[in-house]
Amino acid sequence: MMYTATLTNRRSFIKKMAVLSAMAAAASMFPGIIFAEEQEAGVPKGANLDWKKAPCRFCGVGCGVLIGTEEGKAIAVKGDPQSPVNKGLCCVKGYHSIMALYGKDRLTKPLIKKNGQYVAVSMKEALDLIASKMKETIKDHGKDAVSIYGSGQWTIPDGYVASKLFKGCIGTNNVEANARLCMATAVTGFLSSFGLDEPMGCYEDIDYADTFFLWGNNMAEMHPVLFSRLLDQRLKRSSKIIDFATRTTRTSMAADRSIIFNPQSDLAVGNAICYEIIHNGWMNSAFVEEHCNFSKGLTKMGYGLEDNYKFTDKPEKIDFEAYKKFLEDYTPEKASKISGVSVKDIKYMAAQYGDPNKKVMSFWCMGPNQHSRGTWMNNIIYNIHLLTGKISEPGNSPFSLTGQPSACGTVREVGTLTHKLPHGVVTNKKHREFAAKIWDVPVGNIDPKPTYHTVEMFRALDRGDIRFMWIQVTNPMVTIPKLKRYRDGAKKEGRFIVVSDIYPTPTTDIADVILPSAMWVEREGMYGNSERRTQYFEQMLEPPGEAMSDTWQLIEVAKRLGYEKQFYYNEETHIEEIYNEYRKHHVGKRHNMAPLEVLKSQPGAMWPYVEGKSTQWRFNSKYDPACSNGKDFHFYGKPDGKAVIWQRPYEPAAEEPDQEYPYWLGTGRVVEHWHTGSMTRRIPVLHQAMPHGYVELNPGDAKRLQIKTGDDVKLTTRRGEIILPASVNQRGVPAPMQVFVPFFDENMLINDITLDSFCPISKEPDYKKCAVKVEKA
Amino acid sequence: MPIKSYLVHPHQGMKDTLIDALSKHNQCEVIPAKNKEIIILITDTENSREEDLLKEKIESISSLKLLAMVSGFNTPKN
């Protein structure tokens, strides 16, 4: 796709706008539609473009793109045909990605708040101030009063130096990232079931699966390129797509079967599928006997609504008979009463998994993850795959998708969460010793006690336990649930907030210092996608003004804090030096990372990268060199080499509809905008295609309330109220007595009224469920 | 100086024929979808009269099932 930023010809500009409008319209009508040839056609005649590869800036699919630059500007982007992820395709956001570099209001100068006004200063002055404020805060309030909050958009080097500085040098575990809000549950799901994080399979599973089971996952809008691969397989091989969701979406419309369930009741339906598998003799007994254990954990854990809430699960081994008896509470008939799903549909779903001749791939993302019992829900999906032995082989794959380009690469693998280290956890002495050696710090520097997960970190800021917070490449003043409390807390006297970003956002509004960041290919880096693929991108452009990479901002401050020895990196070669140092944390057949020269030469490589090869299917001895038990499968993340089938019950959500607040409120995303819209709302065609937030209502409810599309609707929860325009029978259709609101619009902050309940195991908030009153405004 | 974009739906199995027919007009830029039976059409004409005439010609193409306008711009000549 040709872009307009460098065009002086107004007419060409308008023509391109017309093309983009049409493409956006087509994408909204046909999920997964591709206009690949147009990418080349748009390149101006005579243009001498230099095409270089990069992973896409937006979601966690990690599509490979080729970026065409000329005279220091990015002017074209196309899908990389060499990339096994997207095979030359892009979604509507990918096609427009480079336009996000050129918004009119890019931050180009550091700004310091002086007497209530932002004043432009030099980068040196800003970095000096940040370092001195950190020193002062540590001196006055202790090391646990300073914190950093990053994101799954951090490159691997960004997250690595942040963790090294805060955990290794300063000695605080106040390191969190926004992936806590989207992927923490996936992590705890993997760790509890398998002992190791991230999917065992890969995208190539799509080419082998007979049934795609989407658990609360609107792939058509959130992962359109992967969804187009599903549609392609349906066309070629008659694969089936089952959409199991709480709301009718574009995915439902494209699916072979759309099944709607009551919010939170996926727990019951998942267990009913397990019940059916066992009672119909579909269990792969040999696989279960050889490779699985059964466990149960604590129940009635609460929802984390109170400050300083703590929970640690206590796993207890059980036997198969106990698990079978537990499932008697989840016969299809009983689960049907909880879920609203017909007995026939539950049996249909179970039969898809149970059919020994069908390969099944499960996909999920925010539905089971942003769930107050999310870890349980992840466990239940794994239970289904383990009971049937449909796992870790081509086409049989439980696949947890991610939403950010490096949620896996940076947050989960580098370990930028309070309890994590690049290899292992802070609570483990050996892991601390291992990290300290590579980081060249005394082992005593690394605190063995985790501090705050994300919601609790913002609560600590509100309480005053945290006094300094550095926020990089994320927008928490749009995304934190029950936002008003945390926005007010961040503005309190005695707090010092640094925000590194590329555009002004509601989060830069609370900053004492704003640092302009280099974006994506304006610096060098790596992202890690959902299928364990690490992808490198070189610096292709100069960042605007004084903008600097988040990595180098951290290094500059680290040096000012006196850590020159640990932050020895050379400005010209620091990314390579950091990556080579980082690789040392993952040495070994279970997680080896590919050398940088390999990442430079091809569209990424999947870890474990062993003997010059990516590992596509972990835990399967046919494909994974780390398997060492002499059997066909080896779940080596667990000491006995066996995966765990968990007994996890249905429990209600933290806040359910009642007489006063009779509707369910769920929140989510749209295809045009990426998360909080701070980049995509600056891309004219995407902004025009989806200019503002809205509330989706069920047509029956809307009729009863005499609300039509465009009418103002007042939503009231126990946290506050908001007015939004109605959307009836437009894009998505919620079930009766439910409403849906996307969160991309910073002028309609739906998170002001959401609830900060979270999964007690993962500490990930449940953005999908709270009680709301709906009125015509 | 109107510039307009359309989503163009061909009759079943007639996508290539429709692409050929549209491509014969100098004022038309044609962008077929790779994986769907749909074409993006951009028209770039000197004035409204020429635009109307072009539209008439397009609508008479037998392989055309539906012509749906997405956006319309009018711009002074460069």
CA A228/CA A363 separation, integer angstroms: 14
Residues A78-103 have a mean pLDDT of 87
Quick one: pLDDT at residue A375?
Answer: 98
User: Which tens digit of pLDDT belongs to each residue from A527-539?
Assistant: 999 999 999 999 9
Query: Residue A420: pLDDT above 50?
Result: yes
Quick one: pLDDT at residue A681?
Answer: 94
Query: Residue A46: pLDDT above 80?
Result: no
Give the residues across from A644 on adjacent strands. A293
Query: Residue A25: pLDDT above 70?
Result: no
Q: Does residue B9 sit at the A interface (CB-CB below 8 Å)?
A: no
Query: Residue A21: pLDDT above 90?
Result: no
Quick one: pLDDT at residue A107?
Answer: 98
Nearest to B35 among A10, A33, A41 (CB): A33
Cβ atoms within 10 Å, residue A142? 12
Share of chain A above pLDDT 90, in %: 86
CA atoms within 13 A on the CB side of A158: 35
Quick one: pLDDT at residue A267?
Answer: 98
Nearest to B3 among A9, A15, A30 (CB): A15
Quick one: pLDDT at residue A2?
Answer: 38
Q: Does residue B14 sit at the A interface (CB-CB below 8 Å)?
A: no
Q: With contacts defined as CB-CB under 8 Å, which chain B residues touch A33?
A: 33, 35-36, 38
Q: With contacts defined as CB-CB under 8 Å, which chain B residues touch A21?
A: 5, 70-71
Quick one: pLDDT at residue B3?
Answer: 83
Q: With contacts defined as CB-CB under 8 Å, which chain B residues touch A35?
A: 31-34, 40
Nearest to B73 among A14, A41, A232 (CB): A14
Do A22 and B40 lie within an 8 Å CB cutoff? yes
Confidence of residue A45 (pLDDT cuts 50, 70, 90): low
Confidence of residue A690 (pLDDT cuts 50, 70, 90): confident
Q: Name the residue of chain B whose CA is nearest to A15's CA.
A: B3
Confidence of residue A6 (pLDDT cuts 50, 70, 90): very low
Which residue among A183, A377, A627, A770 is the active-site one? Answer: A183
Give yes or no for a contact between A243 and A230, defined as CB atoms under 8 angstroms apart.
no
Quick one: pLDDT at residue B4?
Answer: 84
Q: How many CB pairs under 8 A join A and B?
A: 81
DSSP per-residue string spanning B8-29: EEEPTT-HHHHHHHHHTSTTEE
User: Which tens digit of pLDDT belongs to each residue from A422-472?
Assistant: 999 999 999 999 999 999 999 999 999 999 999 999 999 999 999 999 999
User: Which tens digit of pLDDT belongs to each residue from A469-512?
Assistant: 999 999 999 999 999 999 999 999 999 999 999 999 999 999 99
Confidence of residue B72 (pLDDT cuts 50, 70, 90): low
| H/E stretch holding A513 | strand A513-516
Residues A347-356 have a mean pLDDT of 98
User: Which tens digit of pLDDT belongs to each residue from A593-602?
Assistant: 999 999 999 9
Edge-to-edge strands, sheet with B64-74: B28-32, B39-44, B2-10, B64-74
> Which of A240, A278, A277, A235 has the alpha carbon at shortest distance from A259?
A240
Mutate which: A12, A14, A687, vs B, most B CBs within 10 A: A14
Residue A302 is classified by DSSP as -
Do B1 and A11 lie within an 8 Å CB cutoff? yes
Classified as helix, coil or strand, A475 is: coil
Quick one: pLDDT at residue A7?
Answer: 32
> Which of A405, A467, A514 has the alpha carbon at shortest distance from A178?
A405
Residues A398-403 have a mean pLDDT of 96
User: Which tens digit of pLDDT belongs to each residue from A267-306?
Assistant: 999 999 999 999 999 999 999 999 999 999 999 999 999 9
Q: What's the predicted TM-score (pTM) here? A: 0.88
Q: Does residue B26 sit at the A interface (CB-CB below 8 Å)?
A: no
Q: With contacts defined as CB-CB under 8 Å, which chain A residues touch B36?
A: 26, 30, 33-34
Do A35 and B5 lie within an 8 Å CB cutoff? no
Amino acid letter, residue A601: S
> Which of A316, A378, A407 has the alpha carbon at shortest distance from A189?
A378
Q: Does residue B66 sit at the A interface (CB-CB below 8 Å)?
A: no
Instruction: Quote the minimal CA–CA distance from B62 to chain A in Å.
Output: 22
Q: Does residue B19 sit at the A interface (CB-CB below 8 Å)?
A: no
Q: Which residues, in sequence order, are CB contacts of A597 under 8 Å at separation 6+? A: none
Query: Residue A19: pLDDT above 80?
Result: no
Cβ atoms within 10 Å, residue B46? 11
Beta strands per DSSP E along A374-463: 397-400
Classified as helix, coil or strand, A91 is: coil
Give yes or no for a contact between A726 and A624, defined as CB atoms under 8 angstroms apart.
no
Confidence of residue A17 (pLDDT cuts 50, 70, 90): low
Q: With contacts defined as CB-CB under 8 Å, which chain B residues touch A36?
A: 34
Quick one: pLDDT at residue B35?
Answer: 82
DSSP per-residue string spanning A716-777: EETTEEEEEEEEESSS-EEPTTEEEEES--TTS-GGGSS---B-TTT--B-TT-EEEEEEE-
User: Which tens digit of pLDDT belongs to each residue from B36-53?
Assistant: 889 999 999 988 889 889
Q: Which residues, in sequence order, are CB contacts of B2 under 8 Å at separation 6+? A: B43, B44, B45, B47, B48, B51, B72, B73, B74
Mutate which: A2, A16, A33, vs B, most B CBs within 10 A: A33
Using an 8 Å CB-CB cutoff, list residues of chain A that contact chain B.
9-11, 14-15, 17-19, 21-23, 25-26, 29-30, 32-38, 41, 89, 228, 231-232
Q: With contacts defined as CB-CB under 8 Å, which chain A residues touch B75?
A: 10-11, 14
Quick one: pLDDT at residue A684?
Answer: 84
Residue A119 phi/psi, 5-degree rounding, is -120, 130
Quick one: pLDDT at residue B77?
Answer: 38
> The dihedral of CA A378, A384, A390, A394: what is its sign?
negative
Angle of helix A574-584 versus helix A156-163 axis, rounded to 10: 70
List the single range of A22-26, A237-241, A520-524 with lowest mean pLDDT.
A22-26
| H/E stretch holding A55 | strand A50-55
Nearest to A10 among B29, B34, B75 (CB): B75
Q: Does residue B23 sit at the A interface (CB-CB below 8 Å)?
A: no
Query: Residue A712: pLDDT above 60?
Result: yes
Quick one: pLDDT at residue A14?
Answer: 63
CA A322/CA A305 separation, integer angstroms: 32
Do B31 and A35 lie within an 8 Å CB cutoff? yes
